[in-house]
Structures are given as C-alpha cells and as structure tokens.
C-alpha cells in the first residue's frame, strides 16, 4: 500500500479544521498556545522542546505565557478568573457562547486559553498542543522543511513512548508513520481528526461540567445582576 493511498484514506474523514473558524486573531493565539503548552515542562527559557521548531519571535511572545504557566502550576486548582489576555478577562457572553459548540470555544481567544489551562490541570495538554502543531505544520510552505518538521511532530507526539504521546489507535499510528515516507501537508490529518474528536467528545464536556467553569458563570451572572440593580 503506497503512502499516497494512505493519505487518501485519511482524507475520507470529515476533517475538523473546516468546521473551526480560525480567524487571524485565533491563529495568532493558537501559535502562542503551541508555545504555551510546550513550555509547561521547560526548566528554563534557554531550553527548547525538541518536537517544535518555533521562531525567535514566537519564543519572545511566549515569555509572558511561560510566566503564566509557572504561576498556574503553583496553584492547586484551575480557575477561569486567571484566564486573561493582557488586562481582559472572558465576559459572561463569551463564556456562555463556549457552551454552544466546541468550535466556538476554540475560535474564541479567551476560550482557547481557558480550555488549555483546563487540559493542563488534567495533565492532557498534549492533545491541544498536537492539534495546533498540525495546524502550524499544514501551513508550511517550504517543501525542504516539510519532512524534518513532520518527523519532529511524529517523534514528539505519535511514536510509541513519545515524550508527549497522544492517545490514538494503532491503525492511525501506522498510517501516519507510513505517510512520513512521502510527507505532505495532509500526512497528520487522520491523527489530528482523532484527537479533535477525543477533545470534542471527552475533554470538552468535562470542561463544561467543571466546577471552575460553573462557578465562574455564576459569579459573572451575580455581578451582572448587582450592576443592573445599581443602575
């Protein structure tokens, strides 16, 4: 069976990326998010995760995210109140929209950070990191860089005993490995789709059921009610 045929098999799946509105802002945050999740286990700013080839600019943007991560890991519980970008925090309207669909959660800049922090609290942030590593890989223009980049992602997330191994079935793993023999921008599509479904069907419902999410909604509603009464 050729690599081309294996890629064709994965393309039969209704791929998730077409249903997620990754606006320019969301794309920028997704790249920061890729670094954000990578920095989770870094001992210093000079050590780089071998699985991700990020530019110097991206690393500079990641410094603040790393500081947030260090601060977050020192806290016993995840809290939505800490999920801010700059000085802005998620509004009640934003938080309520996250319940409408997983796509709307990922497409919202605060939602993306909140969901990532939630996954970190569950020690499963490799899922969102892999998803956006695939998004970044798909945008690779240089054919010369494609093979090396694909191998790094495979070594980091896919191969058995990978440092940040994602939970995929043997068939998907084998197909992805075979695709690396003749890499294209779609060689991770099948694996990415599996992880997307895992997050959408398992992690996302748990996020919505989490005490932190429910408590934050209640606090925002109470604040809105109090403001209305004063007005």
17-32 pLDDT, tens digit each = 434 444 433 443 444 5
Please name every residue paired with 85 in a beta bridge, in sequence order, or none if there are none.
Answer: 88
Q: Is residue 194 part of a domain?
A: yes
Task: Say which residue, 111 or 229, is predicted with more confidence.
Answer: 111
CA atoms within 13 A on the CB side of 8: 5
Angle CA(178)–CA(181)–CA(187) in degrees, nearest 5? 65
Q: Is residue 207 part of a domain?
A: yes
Q: Is residue 83 part of a domain?
A: yes
Check pLDDT > 90 for residue 209.
yes
| 153: containing domain | 20-225
Q: Is residue 180 part of a domain?
A: yes
* CATH code, domain with 54: 1.10.167.10
Number of domains in the chain: 1
Task: Say which residue, 160 or 2, is predicted with more confidence.
Answer: 160
pTM for this entry: 0.67
pLDDT at 223: 83
pLDDT at 88: 72
Tokens linked to 145? 């860089």
Q: Is residue 8 part of a domain?
A: no
Could you tell me where the DSSP H helices lie in 39-122? 56-73, 92-97, 102-107, 109-121
User: What is the distance between the alpha carbons of residues 168 and 224, in angstroms, rounded to a whole number?
Assistant: 43
pLDDT at 90: 82
Q: Give the residue among 189, 194, 182 at the shortest CA–CA distance from 151.
A: 182
- Which region among 76-90, 94-108, 186-200, 211-225 has the lowest average model confidence (pLDDT)? 76-90
* Neighbour count for residue 114 (Cβ, 10 Å): 27
Angle CA(147)–CA(149)–CA(151) in degrees, nearest 5? 70
Q: How confident is the model at residue 34 (pLDDT cuts 50, 70, 90)?
A: low
Structure confidence by residue, pLDDT tens digits, 168-193: 999 999 999 999 999 999 999 999 99
């Amino acid at each position: 069976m050729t690599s081309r045929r294996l890629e064709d098999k994965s393309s039969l799946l209704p791929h998730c990326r077409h249903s997620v509105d990754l606006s320019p802002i969301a794309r920028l945050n997704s790249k920061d998010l890729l670094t954000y999740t990578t920095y989770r286990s870094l001992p210093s700013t000079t050590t780089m995760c071998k699985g991700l080839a990020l530019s110097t600019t991206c690393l500079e943007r990641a410094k603040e995210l790393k500081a947030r991560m260090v601060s977050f890991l020192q806290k016993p519980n995840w809290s939505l109140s800490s999920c801010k970008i700059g000085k802005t925090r998620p509004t009640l309207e934003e938080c309520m929209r996250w319940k409408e669909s997983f796509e709307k959660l990922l497409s919202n800049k605060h939602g993306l950070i909140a969901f990532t922090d939630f996954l970190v609290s569950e020690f499963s942030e490799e899922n969102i990191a892999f998803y956006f590593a695939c998004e970044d890989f798909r945008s690779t223009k240089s054919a010369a860089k494609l093979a090396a980049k694909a191998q790094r992602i495979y070594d980091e997330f896919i191969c058995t005993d990978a440092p940040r191994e994602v939970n995929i079935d043997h068939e998907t793993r084998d197909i992805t490995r075979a695709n690396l023999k003749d890499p294209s921008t779609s060689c991770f599509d099948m694996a990415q789709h599996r992880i997307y479904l895992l997050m959408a069907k398992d992690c996302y419902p748990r996020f919505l059921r989490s005490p932190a999410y429910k408590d934050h909604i209640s606090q925002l509603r109470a604040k809105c009610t109090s403001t209305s009464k004063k007005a």
